[in-house]
Amino acid sequence: MHPPLALHAERLTKRYGRRTALADCDLSVPRGHVVGLVGPNGAGKSTLLQLACGLIAPTSGTLTVLGSPPAADAAHLARVGFVAQDTPVYPSLTVAEHLRMGAWLNPSWDSTLARRRVDEVGLDPAQKAGRLSGGQRAQLALALAAAKRPELLILDEPAAALDPLARREFMHGLAGFVRELGAGAVLSSHLLGDVAQVCDHLVVLCAARVQVAGPVPDLLATHHRTAAAPAGAEVVWAEPGRVVVRGPAVRDGAPVTLEELVLAYLSRAATRPAVTR
């Protein structure tokens, strides 16, 4: 029997009043991968991640996380770590108090890992979280989520507030955690360099729909750039002098980068009519 998927969505739809954030999304993400969720502002990334954490409920369709409905019970909640977009912390509590609270709230808390991580990223245990910089807060939030030893880490633009060097270290730390925990991760990001650095699986979301999803090596192997579309090829995006096609290698074709691939799907989606009710 196959282990349950990290995420599995069927016709997943979420509406906020008249606004459709996700429309009939089908998605299967295997376990143990680091998944990059990319898409423009308003694409529905946070909505998908909040649905996966059980913070909001779908309008229709289904979503399972590690084989169960999101936040099905306390045991399931413990298997999923979440770092929200604004990396919320308690401003009046110190770093050390956050770790103590984590230990108190989580049965599977790994205090050695938490302390080691706080130490590695140079956080002062006595510092109040309200006085941390945005980047330090993100590091604390990642340490708290990882010390739960979750099977799946869900991160909504976790490194948005970090400077380039801190971001690289954060991503490096994230990749290390995932390996150490034997976990999977899903992270949304606008930074394709970050995604290319740590993600081995890609989901492109645009205009409330999944545009393309799959293992990064497979996607890169099945997309090519050419100067002009060959007859019969599936064209993802064409502009003067540059065509991205999907399928077997084409004569005179060149490999695409992750960035080209993402931009091709985003450009294609942007030219289609928006989803309305």
Ligand X SMILES: Nc1ncnc2c1ncn2[C@@H]1O[C@H](COP(=O)(O)OP(=O)(O)OP(=O)(O)O)[C@@H](O)[C@H]1O
Question: Is the four-CA dihedral 59, 65, 69, 72 of positive or negative sign?
Answer: negative
- Compute the least distance from the CB of residue 96 to ligand X, in Å: 32
Phi, then psi, of 77 in degrees rounded to 5:
-60, -35
Please identify, among the stretches 38-46, 132-140, 215-223, 250-258, the one whose residues bind ligand X according to the rule CB under 6 A.
Answer: 38-46
Query: Per CB under 6 A, which region of 5-13, 44-52, 145-153, 214-222 contacts ligand X?
Result: 44-52
CB of 56 to ligand X, least distance (A): 8
User: Would you give the end-to-end CA distance of the chain in angstroms?
Assistant: 39
Q: Does 44 bind ligand X (CB under 6 A)?
A: yes
CA angle 23, 259, 261 (to 5 degrees): 60
CB of 40 to ligand X, least distance (A): 7
Q: Tell me how far, at minimum, the Cβ of 205 lies from ligand X, in Å.
A: 7
Bridge partners, residue 210, by sequence? 205
Q: Which CB, 106 or 188, lies closer to ligand X?
A: 188
Whether the CB-CB separation of 118 and 140 falls below 8 Å is answered with: yes
- Sequence-distant (6+) residues with CB within 8 A of 230 are 245, 250, 251
Q: Is 45 in the site for ligand X (CB under 6 A)?
A: yes
From candidates 30, 32, 42, 67, binder to ligand X by CB under 6 A: 42
Pairwise CA distance, residues 112 & 6, whole Å: 26
Between 12 and 95, name the residue whose CB sits nearer to ligand X. 12
Decide if residue 276 touches ligand X (CB under 6 A): no
Q: How far is the CB of 201 from ligand X (least distance, A)?
A: 18
Answer for which of 8, 34, 39, 149 binds ligand X (CB under 6 A) is: 39
Residues 52/53/54/60 CA torsion (nearest 10 deg): -10
Residues that bind ligand X (CB under 6 A): 16, 19, 21, 39, 41-47
